[in-house]
Amino acid sequence: MTPHGAGSAAVCDTEGKKGIILNNFKPRSAANSTELQTRLRELDDRFRLLSDQKPDVVGGDHTAELKNIQEEKDSLTHCLAICENASNVADARTNRFEDIVSAHGSQQIVATTLGDLISARNVVAGSESLRSMGQISDEMEHKLPRDALGSASDDLK
């Protein structure tokens, strides 16, 4: 959704649960990925150590342990791929608004649909202006332009 500038009317500032989840997702995902990578390195080291040893050195065949380590490594690699993919999806769901200026006495709405993130920088409203930032439902997104056009035509009468 694109921002509505001067002349837009109505205000809706609702935050969806998906938006809250996405806001908290990035730091948690990064921390989880770091932990998974650390565990994967530990398993790589353990796997290499066991692979290099002769079976009689540790008192028997360690094929079963090597198999378990490999399975856990495969699982961790899959989890890391999921984390990376989810992070890319979260990035794609962020709407960035920058350098938006509205004149004196204008109405400005910077909004995104429910569940998407907003990143706004240098958003300036003139004096005696109305600025609203937040999230709106899909239904409201389609209604806003009609309402704005209706009130603009009422002003011309």
pLDDT digits (tens, 9 = 90+) for 50-88: 888 776 655 566 788 899 999 999 999 999 998 888 777
pLDDT of residue 57: 55
How far apart CA 141 and CA 139 sit, in angstroms, is 5
Give the whole-number percent of the chain exceeding pLDDT 90: 18
The answer on pLDDT for 151 being more than 60 is no
- Domain assignment of residue 38, yes or no: yes
Q: Which of 16, 2, 10, 4 is nearest to 135 (CA)?
A: 16
- Domain assignment of residue 3, yes or no: no
Domain limits at 116? 94-156
Output the pTM of the full model: 0.47
pLDDT of residue 3: 43
Structure tokens given for 113 = 């649909």
Picking from 91, 113, 146, the residue at the C-terminal end of a domain is 91
Picking from 42, 71, 91, the residue at the C-terminal end of a domain is 91
Which of 11-15, 41-45, 49-53, 108-112 has the least mean pLDDT? Answer: 11-15
Contacts of range 147-153, beta carbons closer than 8 Å, 24 or more positions apart: 147/9, 147/10, 148/4, 148/7, 148/8, 148/9, 148/10, 151/9, 152/7
In the chain, the number of structural domains is: 2
Contact between 86 and 25 (Cβ < 8 Å):
yes
| Same structural domain, 77 and 111 | no
pLDDT of residue 147: 63
- Domain assignment of residue 14, yes or no: no
- Residue of 36 and 138 predicted with greater confidence: 36
- Domain assignment of residue 13, yes or no: no
Residue type for 53, please? Q
- Please provide the average confidence, as pLDDT, over all residues in the chain: 74
| Same structural domain, 61 and 101 | no
